[in-house]
Structure 1
């Protein structure tokens, strides 16, 4: 399916202007990305569930607050740039190592209405709301490479050291009773290292790299490192 047709394909037939796709966020991943990146950026279903296939997953809530949308979020959510939104930001850890940074937003009014359960999740994954309700529909997934100027890039680098590799992210819009909620997920280097350690051609080197990350993450959790 070519890009225009993919762009038009929205699960649940969501009307415009709510659309996660724009000049930077695209349905077809960049051709320069690795096969693993293309795979994980386009996987349907719950990202948390996919991570659980690797090891135990924990959710760390880093921020829940009233804010305004990022510059590239307002149109995708179908709101004005100054519309108050409820923001939930979390880190998904696999075996204590940060693998994904997620940023979710919903119009503030919907956070006390249709999506009020989002405020009561605490450390439970958002997937519990999104995939257990048949009235929830999901848009196509859109992805991009993040630049250092993007707010999500800064959130990601707060959780993982800069290894010089580009960060990639994906996003999609969920709708329930015409109320939109957008989830943006940035995959961190530890995910690709873990996958390479399991399946890659240089498995031994990647195992050592992942072992270092895992050891450091546990020291951070215990307060022995920063």
Structure 2
């Protein structure tokens, strides 16, 4: 059963903001494994950027139902598609649970976390929530080094809490500009493919009629 959503932070919303593009609304609310969705776009690889003991972000501890200074195990990775960073992911679990219920998280190396989350029937998931991240949010600052477009001042992120035997694990996925660029180019290519038969017919209709043989 899904975990009931507790709206503890007004910035994170179940319904995507109206200002999101169609693609952003779609990817912010897609169920299942984000890694699996990315595989429809190309070859996915995982780069681990940090694994360490740390404290939760200011907007995380309430959703995890822990204290603001509870030691946690943090895993941060980049999901690349065809070698290009598409998503920066930040996963956090109370330190005690990382040595117990969620201990497998600490030995994943470059395997995706999805291997743990979607293959175990004892794992429940909360509703997905999303928001825009600006430079004031620490996850934006972590993701900012993965793209060089200075015109991008906000990033779309989504998160949910997974529970296994009441032990929480939060996954936040920050989607990078390269993802939206790939989706836009794929849509343009699709439109070109669909328009080619029509163009072919039009070009043939404009050819001068052959003269009748005498």
Q: TM-score range by the shorter chain?
A: 0.7 to 0.9
- Asked if structure 1 preserves the Cα contact closer than 8 Å seen for 2:97 and 2:103, the reply is yes
Does the alignment pair 1:49 with 2:36? yes
Higher gyration radius (CA): 2
- What is the aligned partner in structure 1 of residue 49 from structure 2? 62
**2:195: which partner in 1?**
none
Following TM superposition, by how much is the alpha carbon of 1:20 offset from its aligned partner in structure 2, in angstroms?
6.6
Q: State the SS of the aligned residue for 1:23.
A: coil
Q: What residue number does 2:107 align with? A: 120
Structure 1 residue matching 2:185: 3-state secondary structure? helix
Separation in structure 2 between the aligned mates of residue 35 and residue 121 of structure 1, nearest angstrom: 33
Aligned length in residues: 191
**Once the 2 structures are TM-superposed, how far is the Cα of residue 116 of structure 1 from its aligned partner?**
0.1
Note if contact 2:41-2:81 (Cα within 8 Å) is conserved in structure 1: yes
**CA offset at residue 111 of structure 1?**
0.2
Structure 1: runs of 5 or more not aligned: 1-10, 205-226
Match of 2:143 in 1: 156
Distance 1:186 1:148 in 2: 13
Residue 39 of structure 1, aligned match among 26, 30, 34: 26
State TM-score, norm by structure 2.
0.85
User: How far 1:12 moved relative to its partner?
Assistant: 2.7
Residues in 2 aligned to 1:33 and 1:13: alpha-carbon distance in whole angstroms: 25
Task: Give the corresponding residue for 1:172.
Answer: 160
Structure 2 CA distance for partners of 1:151 and 1:13, relative to 1, 3 Å: closer
For normalisation by structure 1, the TM-score amounts to 0.81
CA contact (8 A) 1:62 1:90 kept: yes
Moved over 6 A (4+): 201-204
Aligned equivalent of 1:72 = 59
Contact 1:144 1:169 (C-alpha < 8 Å) held by counterparts: yes
